Amino acid sequence: MQEIAELWASFLDDREVGADDNFFEIGGNSLIGIRILERLSQTYGVPVSVRDFYLAQTPARVAELIEPGRART
């Protein structure tokens, strides 16, 4: 999960991102979201749908999409 937060931070001008920070509340937008999804797919080899990403909204919940039940902290 920390890796996901760090990935988000890299796309959000290196602002601090916590495990439960809401993507849109910390400055995320649809273009940034698509870029993050592309990087997640490249890094983890797991496709995450746009819909699931936006519904998850936090690094902790996105980590669960990548590794169901085994999200790293």
Please name the residues in contact with 27: beta carbons below 8 A apart, sequence gap of 6 or more. 12, 13, 15
pTM: 0.85
pLDDT, one tens digit per residue, over 14-70 is: 999 999 999 999 999 999 999 999 999 999 988 899 999 999 999 999 999 998 644
For domain 2-66, the CATH superfamily is ACP-like (1.10.1200.10)
Domain boundaries, the chain: 2-66
Q: What is the pLDDT of residue 68?
A: 66
pLDDT tens string 49-65: 999 999 999 999 999 99
pLDDT band at residue 71 using 50, 70 and 90 as cut-offs: very low
